[in-house]
Amino acid sequence: MRISRTACSVLLALLPGLRAAGQTPAEPPVTQPERPTGPVDSCATAECHTKTMAGRFLHGPTAQKQCESCHVAEDVRKHTFGLVVPKSELCVYCHTKAERTVVHKPVADRECVKCHDPHGSDYPKSLLGDPSGALCLPCHKPKDHGRGGQGGNPPQTVGACNVCHEPHSSWLPKLLPAEPPQLCLTCHEDMWTRVELVGNSHAPVQQGRCLACHDAHTTGHPRQLRDAVPQLCFSCHEHDAMRMLVETSAVVHGALSTDESCRACHVGHSSVLPFLLAGSEKELCLSCHNEPLLAQDGHTIADMAFALKANPRHHGPIREGKCTPCHDPHASPRAALLRKDYPGDFYAPFDIAAYALCFECHVERLAMAEDAVGATGFRDQERNLHLLHVNKERRGRNCLACHEVHASGRAFHIRDTVPFGPRDWEIEINYTRLPNGGMCLPACHEAKAYDRGQSELGEAPPAGLKPEYQK
């Protein structure tokens, strides 16, 4: 059945009345989500959102009371609000910044609220906490960086992680803003100045590998060193057998057992001296050997500074300011850190190998030539008196029987006394230098003298000497 246009008009005119009389069901009014317009002062009141405006550093929209920049009302009556865009897209909706190759995980996951409060906080950039602890450490665990150790890196100790790390993204690993050593030198510029001024630099410094020795954050060792010294040094100095020498030698230099260890003699970065020495050999040695010291075997090491000062005639290497021609500064299988063999007993069978240390400098003929002319001044005419004293198959005297090896008050480094016997008795030598020779009157024999020939001064030999003086 078709309804005429006239009938339709009549029905439409009667429809409101029919609804009012309940003859047709009324449809509920449609409620649209309301979005506030303009500043909303009522969001943060004494009753609502009291902490939103409490921070010292507020997010821009919060400070301007533009809540609708991020929030949209879903149901005003229920006081429910949503976000204007999905949560993962909300921050980048305003904070557009190109990401570089290395991206901080919260940034990559679009979880900005892991580091920032979206409304405000008491920290700059609305950070959730102090970078020195509450902010970075929940993710970057203390065990990862040895936090709490000695000598922390100043940026870390004051919570300035962003001095060395980009907070969002970087072109470099670890979110670094620059490669080491350029990054290190932004603060340690004086270190590079010193390196450029001197001739010798540590290999890691030359190669820009600061992190080979130092941890960038904190360790349990001074100066943020990666390990204790000397273990840290041995990590590189294995190629020159240094570690093996120290670990297997019977005698180790006492300096290595101190807190400073290698640093007692060497500097870590650069020095004007070879081997990165902190001072001249003589200066370094006497900085410790300026008092009696107890050796590993229990004997007392003499106060060498006093001995050198009290005795003006010094052994050749000492005159040149060197101790290492005779002593190894690190360790040795021999007593007194000697570099080569030397007999330790008063009496010793003569063997060139047994005196290898002395013959590094002194010619072997000194103790071997029958005709002593040109070989030694310790001769009676041509008779070699070194051969007489030293070169024996069974009871040869070692050099220390007559000579001081460091310094003496007498010519030829002649000793005042001879150490002898199991109790180390000190027997006076009573050496006297004569115009063309000398004489001694020790307790082991009567006075004996020698003469190299006619005295240039023409003096007569002292009375009472044995005939061999005149031969």
**DSSP letters for 80-107:** EEEESS-HHHHHHHH------SEE-HHH
Written as six digits, the tokens of 128 are 């959730």
* Dist. CA 166–CA 196, nearest whole Å: 29
Query: Contact, 202 vs 228, CB < 8 A?
Result: no
* Dist. CA 54–CA 382, nearest whole Å: 104
pLDDT at 155: 65
What 3-state DSSP class applies to 408?
A: strand
Query: Contact, 428 vs 436, CB < 8 A?
Result: no
DSSP string, 241-293: THHHHHHH-SEE-GGGGSSSGGGGTB-SSEESSGGGBSS-HHHHHHHHSSS-E
Query: Contact, 382 vs 371, CB < 8 A?
Result: yes
DSSP string, 139-189: TS-HHHHTTT-BS--HHHHTT-GGGTS-SSEESSGGG-SS-TTHHHHTT-H
Q: How far is CA 196 from the centre of its chain?
A: 20
Pairing relationship of beta strands 448-451 and 437-440 according to DSSP bridges: antiparallel
pLDDT at 42: 65
pLDDT at 148: 47
* Dist. CA 212–CA 225, nearest whole Å: 9
Distances in Å between the alpha carbon of 302 and those of 164, 294, 307?
Answer: 51, 9, 8
Task: For the chain, list residues with pLDDT below 50.
Answer: 1-40, 144-149, 455-471
Q: Which residues of 277-295 are buried (b: 16+ CB within 10 A; e: fewer)?
A: bbeebbebbbebbeeeeee
Q: What is the pLDDT of residues 7-51, one digit of tens each?
A: 434 333 444 444 444 444 444 444 444 444 444 456 877 678 888
State the distance between the two ends of the chain, measured CA to CA, in whole angstroms: 168
Of 350, 352, 323, nearest to 339 by C-alpha is: 323
Q: How far is CA 290 from the centre of its chain?
A: 27
Query: Contact, 289 vs 304, CB < 8 A?
Result: yes
pLDDT at 424: 72
* Dist. CA 11–CA 406, nearest whole Å: 133
pLDDT at 363: 92
Written as six digits, the tokens of 65 are 């009371």
